[in-house]
Amino acid sequence: MKLRTPLGRKFIYKLYYVTGAAYENNADIFARNTGLLKCSRRGLRTLTSTHLTHVTSNNKELGKPWRVLFFGTDDFSLPSLKMLFRELQDGGFVKQLAVVTSLKAKKNPVRDFAVAAELAAFNWPFHAVPGDFDVGLVSSFGHLISKSIIESFPLGILNVHASLLPRWRGAAPIFYAILNGDSETGVTIMQVKAHKFDVGNIVLQERCPITPTDTAPMLKVRLAELGAKLLQETLKDLPHCLHKSVPQPDFGITYAPRVTSSLAAIKWQDMAAVQVYNLHRALTGLYSLSTTWHGLPIKLLEPSLEIGTSKQEQQTGNSWLLNRPGYVELDHKSRVLRVLCADTKWISFRAIVVPGKKPMSPKDFYNGYMSKHSVTEWTFT
């Protein structure tokens, strides 16, 4: 269901929306805004964030079931939100559930689920918490949350982070764990602090192995499910878990900044074959590996690691190949394009993309491009 507003795209991020059913199911959230919001089952209504006010608890004793405000946007967030919704439906440890999300991304599974489940859903940003909640929960949200909003929750805000903090603080922990050849990662439930990402106390943490063939989407699915499980365990005994939380160690800190397309460029002079392969695994679902052929930008698809020596070296005994990272040749028998890496090992590719053309086979690339150059010029850069 799409949000429609006459105010224009520029102001849509300052709006929140609810379904009529969500209003009825969460009337206590909106009762204090009487006259500001009109809602019906026929459609969505909008309200600017300046109308939202936070109302503190009237000396209510905190305890299960919890009133939860969930912050999330993508597929990683969804298992945690679904777990919370099941607890709400089953009369478990959640008695009130609403969602904060962003409309910046065209694809927003959290927004779509909230609308389908008739949950109250608020658009980020806002400057005050829209209701009365015990705890905030964050999963793959991507926005810094202000100190005033964090302190609006009696139990603070917890974050589901896809790494074993303090390793891989930042927006892309899964990418960097695979890129760096880590054999394991995990999920950390941590307390959110103002002004900085991923520096709060560790509440709960569990490890998860990374196999040599895992791609980022494969690992993301496993970590998202693990995150939902750990979040469930935390909320079952929340005060005790918060009391037992510990500061992150001041050693072993690494950072995982946002991934950009420039990272897809293969640096043949510097990268071992396994590093090129790990780059592919980490970028799967985002970007294809890229290189250049005599100034022509190309993409390399379907890589695999190779063991063996070059046909040219076998035939001529030329050791110069060992000093030419980026040297490329066609293996007619295996029907792959083989490229020499900085560690003198090989990586092969089964498809190549030239600008303006569909993916082609290694043989077609050889016939159309490599055959026009001498063997000493068969080099990717």
Mean pLDDT in residue range 192-203: 95
Q: pLDDT band for position 130 (50/70/90)? A: confident
DSSP SS3 for 200: coil
Say which DSSP state 40 is in.
B
Domain with CATH 3.10.25.10 in the chain: 261-377
Say which DSSP state 89 is in.
H
DSSP SS3 for 237: coil
CA 246 to chain CA centroid, nearest Å: 25
Taking phi first (over 0 means left), then psi (-120 to 50 degrees means alpha), and beta for anything else, what does residue 201 get?
A: beta
Other CB atoms within a 10 A radius of the CB of residue 78 amount to 19
Spatial separation of the C-alpha atoms in residues 279 and 9, rounded to whole Å:
37
Q: Tens of pLDDT along 60-119? A: 567 889 999 999 999 999 999 999 999 999 999 999 999 999 866 678 999 999 999 999
- pLDDT at residue number 264: 99
Domain with CATH 3.40.50.170 in the chain: 9-243
The pLDDT of residue 11 is above 70: no
* Cβ-contact 168, 254 below 8 angstroms: yes
pTM (whole model) above 0.85: no
Q: Which of 12-26, 102-116, 285-299 has the highest mean pLDDT?
A: 285-299
Q: Tell me which CATH code domain 261-377 carries.
A: 3.10.25.10
Q: Tell me which CATH code domain 9-243 carries.
A: 3.40.50.170
